[in-house]
């Protein structure tokens, strides 16, 4: 960094390509920096000149320090990351992009590790590290199920658990799985597709198939969970808003020694029949402030799918309100 005047600082980087990668190779992202931090940014070659009041310049420099650390840790900076870094500097938030990039979950050889992309996702991962039962609640696309699967595989590879148990209510089939063709895995596969997708995204095909065949990763529909005790397991109950009160209570009480359970759901997408109360809704009220249990609530700002998904969620919230 070279000071050129009381109201300017010049930040220099190794190459123009490295600098451009810090603002996601899109110079238009600098408009966000200028608007939110009230600075002026001019970039040439491998440097960027920032102009503004001293306090604003300090915040702008913190943005690039944060992004540079994350980039050198191997993170590919996206537009979302740049905006997050700017918002963190503007609001004085403790979690920046560099802290997110410091957390890496499982990835097979040749595959990128799974990393949190928002502060809430980081808090979710930390909660899964420290609590026995974790509720991840919020809209679609916030990474609730995907990150739970990544944590489960990470713990499996570290031998902290012996198996992963995946379960999800098959609401459309009314849990009457016996009438569907195929073996148990084939019967429930359509309802567990997001979990299968996550497995194959994180593991190479041979490893994923081996885990599924030898029971290390077990598919356990709610209809088949009653009476079991799941020890040294990582249990993921997905789409929990579609459990009945009895199903939720039964599933939560399957937890055995040295096990962990993650319950994911979105209370705005209940598919149960009219008059049937969601087991997730009851659990939210009954289990507050219970030792070993925590609730993480995601917002539309945590949606990490296509940007239009966030706008869809926001539009529906406005319309339904």
For the chain, give every domain's residue range: 2-101, 119-320
Q: Class for domain 2-101, per CATH?
A: alpha beta
> What does the pLDDT profile of the chain (321 residues) look like in tens digits?
444 445 899 999 999 999 999 999 999 999 999 999 999 999 988 999 999 999 999 999 999 999 999 999 889 999 989 999 999 999 988 888 999 988 889 766 667 888 899 999 999 999 999 999 999 999 988 999 999 999 999 999 999 999 999 988 876 544 455 555 666 666 666 777 777 888 888 888 888 899 999 999 998 778 778 889 999 999 999 999 999 999 999 999 999 999 999 999 998 888 888 889 999 999 999 999 899 999 999 988 888 776 677 778 778 878 887
This prediction's pTM: 0.83
Is the separation of the CB atoms in 38 and 56 below 8 Å? yes
Contact between 157 and 106 (Cβ < 8 Å): yes
Q: Which CATH class for the 119-320 domain?
A: alpha beta
Q: Do domains 2-101 and 119-320 have the same CATH topology?
A: no
Distance (Å, rounded) from C-alpha 226 to C-alpha 233?
Answer: 16
The pLDDT score that the predictor gives to residue 174 is 44
Query: Residue 230 corresponds to which tokens in the numbers above?
Result: 């799941």
First to last CA, the chain: 49
Determine the 3-state secondary structure of 320 from DSSP: helix
Residues linked to residue 41 through DSSP beta bridges, in sequence order: 50
The DSSP call for residue 273 is P
């Amino acid at each position: 960094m070279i000071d050129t005047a009381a109201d300017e600082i010049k930040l220099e980087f190794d190459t123009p390509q490295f600098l451009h990668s810090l603002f996601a190779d899109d110079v238009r992202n600098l408009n966000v920096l200028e608007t939110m931090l009230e600075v002026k940014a001019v970039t040439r070659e491998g440097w960027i000149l920032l102009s503004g009041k001293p306090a604003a310049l300090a915040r702008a420099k913190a943005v690039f320090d944060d992004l540079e650390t994350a980039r050198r840790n191997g993170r590919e900076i996206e537009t979302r990351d740049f905006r997050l870094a700017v918002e963190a500097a503007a609001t004085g938030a403790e979690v920046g992009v560099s802290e997110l990039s410091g957390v890496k979950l499982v990835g097979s050889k040749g595959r990128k590790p799974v990393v949190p992309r928002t502060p809430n996702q980081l808090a979710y991962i930390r909660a899964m590290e420290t609590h026995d039962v974790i509720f991840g609640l919020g809209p679609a696309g916030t990474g609730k199920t995907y990150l739970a699967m990544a944590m489960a595989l990470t713990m499996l590879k570290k031998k902290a658990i012996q198996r992963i148990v995946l379960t999800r209510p098959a609401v459309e089939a009314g849990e009457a799985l016996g009438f569907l063709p195929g073996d148990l895995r084939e019967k429930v596969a359509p309802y567990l597709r997001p979990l299968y997708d996550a497995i194959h995204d994180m593991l190479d095909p041979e490893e994923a198939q081996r885990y599924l065949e030898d029971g290390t990763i077990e598919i356990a529909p709610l209809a088949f969970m009653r009476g079991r005790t799941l020890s040294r397991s990582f249990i993921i109950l997905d789409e929990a808003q579609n459990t009945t009160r009895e199903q939720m209570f039964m599933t939560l009480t399957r937890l055995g020694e040295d096990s962990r359970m993650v319950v994911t759901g979105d209370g705005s997408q209940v598919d149960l029949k009219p008059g049937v109360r969601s087991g997730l809704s009851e659990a939210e009220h009954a289990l507050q402030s219970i030792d070993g249990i925590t609730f993480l609530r995601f917002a539309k700002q945590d949606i990490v799918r296509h940007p239009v998904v966030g706008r869809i969620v926001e539009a529906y919230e406005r319309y339904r309100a």
